[in-house]
Chain A
Amino acid sequence: MTAMRAARFRQPSPLPGFGLALGTTLAMLSLIVIIPIGALLLKGAGIGIGDIAANLAKPRVWAALLLSFRIALLAALFNLAFGLALAWVLVRYDFPGRRLLDAAVDLPFALPTAVAGIALTTLYAPNGAFGQLLAPLGIKVAYTPLGIWVALVFVGLPFVVRTVQPVVAEIDREIEEASATLGAYRARTFLRVILPMLTPALLTGFALALARGVGEYGSVIFIAGNLPSVSEIAPLLIVIRLEEFDYDGAVAIAVAMLAISFAMLLVINLVQVWSRRRFGDA
């Protein structure tokens, strides 16, 4: 108790255990997260901006980063639209199997990525259940960038649904009724009244799905085919560089990806600040 009271940076409280709790938290956070990420940044600083840029400018590396970002963006966009539809259906409509559907949304969170990876590959391979149907149409999914997109849609799906769903549930129906009473058609009410209220949650879910997609590895490497410069994602290239003992090459890509992660976190936090200012405490 006395030791805690000496700590000036916190408000006084009669509850004990602050020192122990914060000490445990900081010790574990340092060991597991801060020191390892710090080591990466330190190593990156040691290599130098110039060499990192030179490493990233190599055609194969640049292609991998661009591919990871582009496909993750396209998958997050699909999940933005479909996640909104799914959240809307789950909150607003009543139909048989609604609760089962609600539980199923979390499947990508619960199913290990390697399991999802081999299952999707089996389905979309040329001789797989879906691959056979798509082959006559000239659509190849497995072992192409389209396969990466399918895997990233799978892993990113719950993010938008789970961030938007509670916000849809809290919408005051009277606002919609007021809009309708004032003569707005349903579509107009949705676009002008409901959608603005959902925008912060949609953006947050989108950013989370995008961040997950850019860094995703397990579900992608099986279905991607991993052709350099065509369907080779950035995380895989890190693994390849490590196996070649090219630590500088691996660190360069990792630093770029960490920068993308930080940018994503910043966007999420800014969206939340903006949303709090605009809509009150959300």
Chain B
Amino acid sequence: MADVAFDDAANLARAQPLRPVASEAPWFRRTLVALVLAIVGVLLLAPLAVVFTEALAKGLGAAVSALGERDARAAIRLTLLVAAIAVPLNAVFGVAAAWAIAKFDFRGKAILITLIDLPFSVSPVVAGLCLVLVFGANAPLGAWLVANGWPVIFAVPGIVLATMFITFPFVARELIPVMQEHGRAEEEAALTLGASGWRTFLTVTLPNIRWALLYGVLLCNARAMGEFGAVAVVSGKIRGQTNTMPLMIEMLYNEYLSVAAFSMAALLALLALVTLTLKTALEWRYADQLAANRRH
């Protein structure tokens, strides 16, 4: 491009002179793309591929029958149950938090947002330990609950609480910026026209945030079903009772039952792939209705 004649105006216009100066040399671009693709292949795609090749190492039949084992089915059921409780509760929390934070101005809002974000930066194991300190048999509350027949730690409620802690910010984080962007003019108009508060929420606010809500729920669910560290601390890992799918994977893997471990892992990897596909589809189709800055 350097030897374009400056007096040749027509040539200059055709040559799109602005593009090269604000970009890198072609050889550099090609090298960088190749490098990035290679590293992503080794770092991200190879682990994904190995999950499926190991699961199918002894054929599809062996993988399916491993998933049909009694303890495996119990683990799958428990994971589904925990997600079915934790995700809707976190969705309700997310909508409530976003409504309060995005539609109103009040003191201490910044602190509230920081507290909601806190679980993102706390180690899952520390989260599990915190729950043990409140609800464990050594704590006053925990001892009282156990005495009354409602054990939390080493039981399903503890797993639900641990899962909720880890996935707590997902829906709120997604909804707050979207609702802030919408402002409150539409809701105010609906109220002026005589709609009740709930009707305003259901017919004005909810349609505006539905895709963002679905997006948040999707990410929340993927993390909820896959959570390991926090759940490992509170579950007690009782086979057939408090073993979730990720905990079952660890148990099978440590017993050298490779096909069984990777079959369970493949099931969760499939969930991850479905999540990514739906997430990407939502981003393409409804980009304008999702939070612009995707942070997890």
Contact = CB atoms under 8 A, between A and B. Distances in A.
A112 B271 CA distance: 9
Interface residues of A, number: 98
B134 A36 contact: yes
Given A11-B106, A163-B295, A166-B292, A119 B118 contact: no
A158 B165 contact: no
B65 interface: no
Given A36-B130, A107-B44, A211-B121, A176 B22 contact: yes
Interface of B: 18, 21-25, 29, 32-33, 35-37, 39-40, 42-48, 50-51, 54, 89, 92-93, 96-97, 99-100, 103-108, 112, 114-127, 129-134, 138-139, 161, 164-165, 168, 184, 187-188, 191, 197, 200-201, 219, 222-223, 225-229, 232-233, 245-247, 249-250, 253, 261-262, 265, 268-269, 272-273, 275-277, 279-280, 292-296
A118 B256 CA distance: 11
A172 B201 CA distance: 38
A258 B138 CA distance: 22
Interface of A: 7, 9-11, 13-18, 20-22, 24-25, 28-29, 32-37, 39-40, 43, 82, 85-86, 88-89, 92-93, 95, 97, 99, 101-116, 118-120, 122-123, 128-130, 153-154, 157-158, 162-163, 165-166, 173, 176-177, 180-181, 186, 208, 211-212, 214-218, 222, 235-236, 238-239, 242, 247, 250-251, 254, 257-258, 261, 264-265, 269
Contacts of A85: 32, 35-36
A112 B107 contact: no
Given A251-B129, A257-B126, A89 B51 contact: no
B184 to A, nearest CB: 6
Contacts of B103: 13, 15, 18
B100 A25 contact: yes
B124 A154 contact: no
A27 to B, nearest CB: 9
